[in-house]
Structure 1
Amino acid sequence: MQPDCLSAEGERRCRRLLAGATARLRARPAAAAVLVPLCSVRGVPALLYTLRSMRLSGSHKGDVSFPGGKCDPTDQDVVHTALRETHEELGLSVPEEHVWGILRPVQNRQKANVVPVLAGVGPVDPQSLRPNPEEVWGRW
């Protein structure tokens, strides 16, 4: 039985609750965006985190984080930033229609706004991910 938090009704409820914020925040400028991937691993509800590579420059190396990163000028909006970065970091393609909504921006240590994008990515087999060693630590 699928847990309520990942059910179709749970998704509809979440999308409805986030609709106003998503409309307001989607095109608003931000420094970065992250994907908050709701998934299941072996049938258990989970969140997919990454461990940032020690090869990265700057203050985020070695951090546990959601997949994501800086907004590029070519990104249409923060949703595209989060989805692009997730694919670059983990080889995980998340279709835009799987995005449930946008959460309230948070500030990172440098006081830059980071926008969390919530998406249901379904069942995930960690062994199927293709982590980019330049971005994330790749052992599961």
Structure 2
Amino acid sequence: MPPHCLSAEDEQRCRRLLAGATARLRARPAAAAVLVPLCSVRGIPALLYTLRSSRLAGRHKGDVSFPGGKWDPTDQDVVHTALRETREELGLTVPEEHVWGILQPVYDQQKTTVVPVLASVGPLDPQSLRPNPEEVSGEGR
């Protein structure tokens, strides 16, 4: 990714392109949501992935994934699900105003609806993350 891809102009263009889908999908029920975190590490544009803990019960243990998870009754919408799960898994608080938009839902192997939420988390020092060992492996930071 070229360094300019996280510019204010590109953010506005992306927000405009995703506005329709975001309005349509934001309040739509979904079983889960993930955050697609755009960041920069040492000045290089990057995406932030997690490695799911091998201690997790169920089918996602050991998976490489974006931070996120199941909808909770306290969540207002899919954006809140993605932001809450990111905070719980990585100790990373992403303000709602950093959300650029919502992407088309995807489906896992069991046909569970997962909604990707695109957001900028800005410059990131991987050492500043506080992975929850019950959910995310701390290896490779």
Q: Could you say whether these structures have the same fold, taking a TM-score greater than 0.5 normalized by the shorter chain as the test?
A: yes
Report percent identity of matched pairs.
Answer: 84
Which residue pairs with 2:19 in the alignment? Answer: 19
Which residue pairs with 1:73 in the alignment? Answer: 73
Partner of 2:75, secondary structure, is coil
Distance 1:44 1:86 in 2: 21
Paired letter, 2:55: R
Paired letter, 1:57: A
Kindly provide the CA deviation profile for residues 56-96 of structure 1, in whole angstroms up to 9, marking residues without a partner as x.
00000000000000000110000000000000000000000
Matched, 1:33 2:33: yes
Distance 1:4 1:101 in 2: 19
Which residue pairs with 1:90 in the alignment? Answer: 90
Matched, 1:116 2:116: yes
Distance 1:102 1:5 in 2: 18
- TM-score using structure 1 length: 0.98
**How much has 1:3 moved relative to structure 2?**
2.0
Distance 1:113 1:4 in 2: 32
Paired letter, 2:42: R
Which residue pairs with 2:53 in the alignment? Answer: 53
Distance 1:35 1:5 in 2: 18
After the TM superposition, list the runs of 4 or more consecutive aligned residues in structure 1 that deviate by more than 3 angstroms.
none
How large is the Cα RMSD of the aligned pairs?
0.8
Which residue pairs with 2:99 in the alignment? Answer: 99
Distance 2:4 2:133 in 1: 35
Kindly provide the CA deviation profile for residues 95-138 of structure 1, in whole angstroms up to 9, marking residues without a partner as x.
00000000000001110100000001100000000000000001
Distance 1:3 1:136 in 2: 28
Partner of 1:35, secondary structure, is strand
Instruction: Count how many residue pairs are aligned between Structure 1 and Structure 2.
Output: 139
Which residue pairs with 1:6 in the alignment? Answer: 6
Which residue pairs with 2:63 in the alignment? Answer: 63
Which residue pairs with 1:136 in the alignment? Answer: 136
